[in-house]
Structures are given as C-alpha cells and as structure tokens.
C-alpha cells in the first residue's frame, strides 16, 4: 500500500485527531495520535477492507525523560493482505500515563500491554488483568523508567556524567 494513500485516508477520516505524520525511510507511515483517538484509528485501520491492518505486531513503551509528553506507546500494525505496515505513536503525560487497551481488538495486546505496565508504569484502561509479568509482585517502581537508578547508583545525565564516572572502577585504571 502506498504511504500517500494511507496518510490521505487517515487524514480524511480523522482530520485534526491525527497530530502529525512522518514517513520512515522504509516507507512506513508513522502517525502521532492522542490516546482518545487510539481505538477509533485502530478500528478504522483494521475494519476497512482495502486497508485490512489485521495484526498487531508490536506494542512497546518509551520514556523520553525531560520531554513533553514524557511517555509514548508505540504500536506497529501489519496488513498481511497489502504487505504494508503502519506505526502509531501515542504520547502520554508524565503524571498518569494512561491509554485504552487494545485487547478487545487483538489478543496479542494482552501480554504486550502488561509488559509496558510492568516496565514503565503505563496503565491501560479496560485491560482484563493488568498485573506484573516480568518483575516480582513486591517490586517497587518501574525499572525501564529513565529516572530509576541502575543498581543503586546515581543516574548519570549530561550535566553530572563526569562527576558520576569519576567514582566508578574503570576510572581507577
């Protein structure tokens, strides 16, 4: 499927609910949308017979510490019939990162949403069993967040990197 055709169809259907489009170097369309438009956009992409994005390939969380919105959930959808992909990116705020669940549309979203919850603390409303999947139940915090210290070390940023590295074993060599 041509990327221009896909962006045109999405823009005609959703207008301003699509915040912006990008095209990956492979020709894959990337659409930035709000969490409130996620279900409608996914339903449209799945149910339109000429689009037929019938498979949720991947869903993952991303933490952009220091950026607004801080969190993103990235969805990769595949149309086997058209041999094409589309990427949806949903930006979420830092205080309460919440997106609607896609488990009613694609069962594969179940474990992938649980992983994003477990690693980043992103909540998926309507999820049938949003429990930890990788970390122990008594684990405090979310290990993939960029403000989580690694192994009880202070987090090194560009402003304090030299100061942090001076105390590490490789600095003694």
- Each residue of 58-116: pLDDT tens digit? 999 999 999 999 999 999 999 999 999 999 999 999 999 999 999 999 999 999 999 99
In a domain, 86, yes or no: yes
**171 pLDDT higher than 60:** no
Distance CA 55, CA 79 (A): 7
CATH code for position 39: 3.30.460.80
**26 against 9, higher pLDDT:** 9
Would you say residue 173 lies in a domain? Answer: no
- pLDDT, residue 143, reads 92
> What is this structure's pTM?
0.84
- Count of the separate structural domains present in the chain: 1
Other CB atoms within 10 A of residue 94 CB: 16
**β pairing state of 71-79 and 55-63:** antiparallel
Residue 53's domain spans which residues?
Answer: 3-131
What are the tens digits of pLDDT across the range 24-63?
A: 878 899 999 999 999 999 999 999 999 999 999 999 999 9
Q: Does residue 102 lie within any of the structural domains? A: yes
Q: Quick one: pLDDT band at residue 152, thresholds 50, 70, 90? A: low
The answer as to whether 140 is a domain residue is no
């Amino acid at each position: 499927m041509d990327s221009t055709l896909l962006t045109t169809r999405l823009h005609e259907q959703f207008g301003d609910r699509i915040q912006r489009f990008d095209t990956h170097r492979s020709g894959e369309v990337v659409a930035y949308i709000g969490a409130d438009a996620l279900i409608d956009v996914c339903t449209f992409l799945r149910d339109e017979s000429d689009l037929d994005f019938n498979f949720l390939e991947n869903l993952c969380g991303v933490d952009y510490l220091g950026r607004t919105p801080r969190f993103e959930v990235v969805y990769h959808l595949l149309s086997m019939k058209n041999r094409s992909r589309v990427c949806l990116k949903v930006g979420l705020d830092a205080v309460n990162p919440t997106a609607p669940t896609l488990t009613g549309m694609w069962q594969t979203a179940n474990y992938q949403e649980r992983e994003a919850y477990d690693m980043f603390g992103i909540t998926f409303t309507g999820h049938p069993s949003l429990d930890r999947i990788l970390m122990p139940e008594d684990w405090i915090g979310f290990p993939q967040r960029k403000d989580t210290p690694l192994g009880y070390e202070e987090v090194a940023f560009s402003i304090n990197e030299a100061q942090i590295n001076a105390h590490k074993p490789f600095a003694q060599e």
